[in-house]
Structure 1
C-alpha cells in the first residue's frame, strides 16, 4: 500500500447520469468513515440566508462584496456544522506562491480554501465583472474546501491509501473535488442565487493555468455539473457523499 501523493489547489445530463444503472465502484473507499459516513451528511438542508451583497466594479466594492459573501456563508454553515469556527478571508492583489501555496501562479482572480480560511487573489477580471455570479461560484467552491477541512474530510482524504494505481488515485481525487462542487451548489442555493448555465460558471472558476491538471483533479465537466446541481437542487450536504458513488459518477 502506498500513501497518496497529489498536489491540491483551491473547486437531461443530470437525469441520465444519476438514473442509469452502473457497476459497483472499481476503487471503493474503505476504512475511512470520515469520508463515507461523515456527520456532515446527516445535517438538515442549509437555511436560506438573506445575503444582500452587492458587487460593484471597483476594487473597494469588490473587496467588500467578497467579505460579505464569506460572512453570509459562515452564517449558513455555522447553523449546521458542529463546533463550527467561521472562515476568515484574506484578499490580496498577488500571492507570492499563489493562494494557499499551491505553487501554480495564475494571472487572473482566484479563490482557494486554505485550512481555516478563504484566500482570494483579486485581479481586474473579478473587479470589472458586472455579474456577481462567476465570482460567487468561485468563492462558494473555495468555501467548500473550507467546509471539507472543518469536518475532517480533507485530512481523511490526504490519509487515504491506495494500491499504487494512478487510476485509483485519480478517482479518489475526483471524489474530493466533485464533492466540493456539490457543496458549492448547496451554498449557492442557501444564498438564493439562480443562473441559467451553472456549467459555464463552474468552468469559468478554473484558471487556464490548471489546464493540463484538470482531468486528473476535477474529472469530467458533466460529472462536475451533475454534482453541483445535486447540491443545489437538494440544499443538503448529505447529497454530496461522493465517496460512496459508483465510479462512473465521479469519472
Structure 2
C-alpha cells in the first residue's frame, strides 16, 4: 500500500500535525480544535519517532476513508457521509465509553462518534500478533471506521439497543454479526480505495486477510491456551472474518454486507 497514493483530497490529517506541535513544545489543542484527528496522553509522556510515524500513517488512512466513504454514500446511497474523528492516544485516555488503554485495543465509541487508537497498537499487531504490513494496519483502522459507517446508517444503534435487552448468548451472537459486517465494509472500502487511488499493491489483500485471521475469536482463545467456546465469541472466527472481508472487497457495494440477513455466517 502506497501511503502517498492512499491520500485522498484531504491530504494528511491533523493527527500528525498535533504530534509534531507537541514534540516542539507547542499546544496541540490549538491545532486539533480546527477539526480532524485528536491525540491524548496521560501525564508526562514522551512522543517518540514511532509515535509520529503512527500518527502520520493514521492520518493518511483516515483521509483515505473520508474520501472513499464520502463517494460511496453519495453514489450508492444518495446521501452525505459525516467523517469520523480519530483519537490517537499514548498509554491511556478517557472516552464516554470508558477508559482506553493498550489493553482495550482500538474501538469505536458511538456516544461521541470517535475511534480510539493507541499509538503502540501497530507494534503489537505486527510483533505480538504476527500481522505485519501497512495494509494490515490500514485494515484495522478501516474496521473501526466501518463501525462509524454502521452508526451513520442507523444499524449500530438499533442492534445495540436489542443487545441491551438480550441475554449474554444472544448479545454475543449479535455482536458477531456487527463485527463481521464491519469486516465486510472494510473490504468495500479497500475495493473502492483501489479504484479511486490505485493504492492497493501486490500482497496488500493478503496482509489484510492475515490480520483478520490473527484476530478471530477462535484463534485468540487458542493462543490464550483456551479451548474455543463459540457462545463466547463476539467478533467471529478467523475464517468468518476473512470471508466477510473478501465478500466486501469482491462486491465493492454496501448491500453485499447484510450479515443480519445471512442465514449462515
SS of match in other structure, 1:90: strand
Question: How far apart, CA to CA, are the structure 1 residues paired with 2:97 and 2:168?
Answer: 24
Supply the RMSD in Å over aligned alpha carbons: 3.6
2:58 to 62, 66, 69: 66
8 Å contact kept, 2:177–2:260: yes
Q: Indicate the residue corresponding to 2:34 in structure 1.
A: none
Cα–Cα, structure 1 residues 228 and 91, in superposed 2: closer, same or farther, change >3 Å? Answer: same
8 Å contact kept, 2:107–2:116: yes
Residue 239 (1) aligns with residue 241 (2):
no
Q: Which has the higher helix share?
A: 2
Cα–Cα, structure 1 residues 191 and 127, in superposed 2: closer, same or farther, change >3 Å? Answer: farther
Cα–Cα, structure 1 residues 223 and 127, in superposed 2: closer, same or farther, change >3 Å? Answer: closer
Structure 1 residue 117, shift from structure 2 partner: 2.2
Residue 51 (1) aligns with residue 6 (2):
yes
Cα–Cα, structure 1 residues 111 and 190, in superposed 2: closer, same or farther, change >3 Å? Answer: farther
Q: Indicate the residue corresponding to 2:80 in structure 1.
A: 83
Cα–Cα, structure 1 residues 84 and 128, in superposed 2: closer, same or farther, change >3 Å? Answer: closer
Paired residues, number: 196
Once the two structures are overlaid, the 10-residue window that deviates more, 193-202 or 218-227, is 193-202
Structure 1 residue 59, shift from structure 2 partner: 2.2
Gaps spanning 5+ residues in structure 1: where? 1-48
Greater RCO, CA 8 A, separation 6+: 1
Residue 114 (1) aligns with residue 106 (2):
no
Structure 1 residue 103, shift from structure 2 partner: 5.4
TM-score, normalized by length of structure 2?
0.62
8 Å contact kept, 2:125–2:137: no
1:138 to 137, 140, 158: 140
8 Å contact kept, 2:188–2:253: yes
Superposition pairs for residues 201-220 of structure 1, below 5 Å?
201-204=211-214, 215-220=232-237
SS of match in other structure, 1:58: helix
Question: How far apart, CA to CA, are the structure 2 residues paired with 1:205 and 1:122?
Answer: 18
